[in-house]
Amino acid sequence: MSEPLRFLDAEGGCARELPDFARDRETLVALYAAMVRTRSFDAKAIALQRTGRLGTYASSLGQEAISVGVASAMQDRDVFLPSFREHGGQLWRGVSMEELFLYWGGDERGNDFAGPTQDFPVCIPVASQFPHAAGVALAMQQKGENAGAVAIGGDGATSKGDFYEALNVVGAWGLPAVFVISNNAWAISVPRSEQTHAKTLADKAIAAGLPGEQVDGNDVIAVREATGRALERCRAGDGGTLIECLSYRLGDHTTADDASRYRDETEVSPHWQEEPLIRLRNHLVAAHDWGKADEEGLLRSSGEAVEAAAENYLATEPDPARAMFDHLYAAIPEDLAALAEEAGDD
């Protein structure tokens, strides 16, 4: 078994020669800034939830590199199909923080992105987004779009039939799809070791006749490089790829979870040494003159952006009751119109 693809080690040292994009300061700063913004967003979301101003929320703490790395390899015309822990990727793609707050705050308008209008909203039923990605890829293939459908799911998702069955059709039909597994070592309380006897989750690609690759999911450069190559395969008509990104869930499953019920702090703490922001910051400092002022400026601007988005979210009036009827069908059926009347307008 080959080692997972890795460019930056945990301290930020170069484990191998960097790909071209990763020699560019501007690109690296953009990736780092996106991860910092994601972490700020997570922190604010949890604060809002703890004070009763947001619904149950799934933090991406420690996994920022996966989502950001994947999205940064995508082009506008590709389609992103995220699970519920991919805020970083959604933000990179152009979904606004305010829209994400709206979604997690319980307002469907948060899924009506002004940004990447072809992207899917967050998918809650685990692994059910993979068949969608196969369908999007089928439409891309059919229309000659020269694009790829990129779906992300967790390690638990690879135990579901939806994942296997979708991976199988991607292989059988040569569909331009990339399935990314964000392996954060835990599916709520069940560790990866109990999830499957498979040696790696990337190995699951073998059954579908597809390439499967393990990547250090805490190295945003590796995630972007692997996703970029997989998308190149899509565009070249070479079909799909499975990418397993190895990371660790530093926080609870969601704000409704208490991870101390099933794992010790002694298990968690070493993973703080591996997390994705430190290594890229160290690399930026060492190789690109990233200084204290740069870091402080970034933290300040991220914090301001999050605060402004939260303020706008909190100031948003809920939709009228009528809205739950208005978008159920293209045109409201008669029997539903009668119920809408009963529900009233506010």
Partner 1 sequence: MTELTIIDAIRTALGRALHDDPDVILFGEDIGIDGGVFRATDGLVQRFGAARVRDTPLSETVIAGMAVGAAAHGLKPVAEIQFMGFIYSTIDQLANHAARLRNRTRGRLTCPMVLRAPFGSGIKAPEHHSESMEAMLAHIPGLRVVVPSSPTRAYGLLLAAIRDPDPVVFLEPKRLYRSMSEPVQDDGVALPLDRAVILREGGDVTLVSWGAMLSETRAAAESLAGEGIDAEVIDLSSLKPIDRDTIRASVGRTGRCVIVHEAPLTAGLGAEIAADLAEHCLTSLVAPVRRVTGFDTVMPYPKLEDHYMPSVERVRRAALDVMEFS
Residue/partner pairs of 11-19 with CB below 8 Å, 24 or more apart: 11/278, 11/279, 11/282, 12/278, 12/279, 12/280, 12/281, 12/282, 12/283, 12/285, 12/286, 13/282, 13/283, 14/283, 18/221, 19/221, 19/225
Is 271 an active-site residue? no
Q: What SS3 state is found at 233?
A: helix
Query: From the list 8, 65, 95, 137, which residue makes contact with partner 1 (rule: CB under 8 A)?
Result: 137
For residue 180, which phi and psi values (nearest 5 degrees)? -110, 130
- Cβ proximity to partner 1: between 47 and 328 the closer is 328
Would you count residue 117 as binding partner 1 (CB under 8 A)?
yes
**Shortest CB 95 distance to partner 1, Å:** 11
The span from the CA of 225 to the CA of 102, in Å, is: 32
Query: Rounded to whole angstroms, what are the CA distances from 159 to 57, 80, 172, 231?
Result: 23, 22, 20, 24
- Cβ proximity to partner 1: between 101 and 248 the closer is 101
Would you count residue 2 as binding partner 1 (CB under 8 A)?
no
Would you count residue 121 as binding partner 1 (CB under 8 A)?
yes
Residues with Cβ within 8 Å of 286's Cβ and at least 6 positions away in sequence, in order, are 12
Which residue in 6, 39, 85, 253 is the catalytic one?
Answer: 253
Place of tokens 């009347």: 341
- Count of residues that interact with partner 1, criterion CB under 8 A: 46
The span from the CA of 243 to the CA of 253, in Å, is: 22
Query: From the list 26, 194, 264, 334, which residue makes contact with partner 1 (rule: CB under 8 A)?
Result: 334
Give the range of 10-18, 69-77, 126-134, 274-282 binding partner 1 by CB under 8 A: 126-134
**Pick from 46, 43, 95, 49: nearest CA to 68:** 95
Give the range of 3-11, 26-34, 169-177, 187-195 binding partner 1 by CB under 8 A: 169-177
Would you count residue 322 as binding partner 1 (CB under 8 A)?
no
Binders in 65-104 for partner 1, by CB under 8 A = 79, 81
Q: Which two tokens stand for residue 197?
A: 């006897």
Query: From the list 165, 203, 267, 295, which residue makes contact with partner 1 (rule: CB under 8 A)?
Result: 165
Angle between helices 276-288 and 25-50 (to 10 degrees): 150
Is 262 an active-site residue? yes
Query: From the list 112, 232, 307, 311, which residue makes contact with partner 1 (rule: CB under 8 A)?
Result: 112
The span from the CA of 156 to the CA of 150, in Å, is: 18
Is 253 an active-site residue? yes
Which residues in this chain contact partner 1 in the complex, by CB under 8 A?
Answer: 79, 81, 108-109, 111-113, 117-118, 120-121, 124-125, 128, 130-140, 142-143, 149, 161-162, 165-166, 168-169, 172-173, 323-324, 327-330, 333-336
Residues recognised as catalytic: 249, 253, 262
